[in-house]
């Protein structure tokens, strides 16, 4: 099932609201993931510093959240639009797709903390749906 016009508008509007904090959201989301789910550190073993405030955690967290926000432009064809990232994660990085869901969960927690008034139940359920579809699209080449 795709997205309704209202859902698309809600996602775009919320992302516009949080766009000035993308770096902080990404950093906090990935830092939380690495601390709460230490098994995810294995995918970043090539980094010298895996502490929550390391430059690599900050940079990659931003990259992930920025990518999630940019994917809105491909909302009607996430599988096709995210094909290069799906191939990268499946064939080169070999990331277990379950980790996409872990990171998304942590990002939703961070958003709820940082935006308690804007992160309404409606926004939560819509972003959860969107993120689940992005995770599914990123997992496409695993099948």
Per-residue pLDDT of 44-66, as tens digits, reads 989 999 999 999 999 999 999 99
Cα–Cα distance measured from residue 112 to residue 124, given in angstroms and rounded to the nearest whole number: 8
Cα–Cα distance measured from residue 34 to residue 126, given in angstroms and rounded to the nearest whole number: 25
Give the contacts of 64 (CB within 8 A, at least 6 positions apart): 26, 29, 30, 103
pLDDT at position 143: 66
The dihedrals phi and psi of 49, each to the nearest 5 degrees, come to -125, 115
Cα dihedral sign for 29, 18, 11, 55? Answer: negative
**Domains of the chain as residue ranges with CATH:** 5-142 (1.10.490.10)
Cα–Cα distance measured from residue 64 to residue 59, given in angstroms and rounded to the nearest whole number: 9
The conformation of residue 46, written as its DSSP 8-state character, comes to T
pTM as predicted: 0.92
- Secondary structure element (H or E) that encloses residue 26, with its range: helix 22-36
Report CA 86 to chain centroid distance, whole Å: 13
Cα–Cα distance measured from residue 4 to residue 10, given in angstroms and rounded to the nearest whole number: 10
pLDDT at position 16: 97
121-138 vs 5-18: helix crossing angle, rounded to 10: 100
Per-residue pLDDT of 75-130, as tens digits, reads 999 999 998 888 888 888 888 888 899 999 999 999 999 999 999 999 999 999 99
């Amino acid at each position: 099932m795709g997205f309704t016009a209202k859902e698309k508008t809600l996602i775009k509007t919320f992302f516009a609201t949080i766009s000035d904090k993308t770096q902080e959201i990404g950093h906090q989301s990935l830092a939380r993931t690495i601390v709460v789910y230490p098994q995810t550190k294995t995918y970043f073993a090539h980094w010298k510093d895996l502490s929550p405030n390391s430059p690599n955690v900050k940079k990659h967290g931003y990259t992930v959240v920025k990518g999630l926000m940019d994917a809105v432009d491909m909302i009607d064809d996430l599988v096709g639009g995210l094909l290069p990232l799906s191939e990268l994660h499946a064939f080169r990085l070999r990331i277990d797709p379950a980790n996409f869901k872990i990171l998304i969960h942590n990002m939703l927690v961070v958003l709820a903390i940082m935006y308690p008034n804007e992160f309404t139940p409606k926004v939560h359920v819509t972003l959860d749906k969107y993120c689940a579809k992005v995770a599914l699209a990123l997992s496409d080449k695993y099948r």
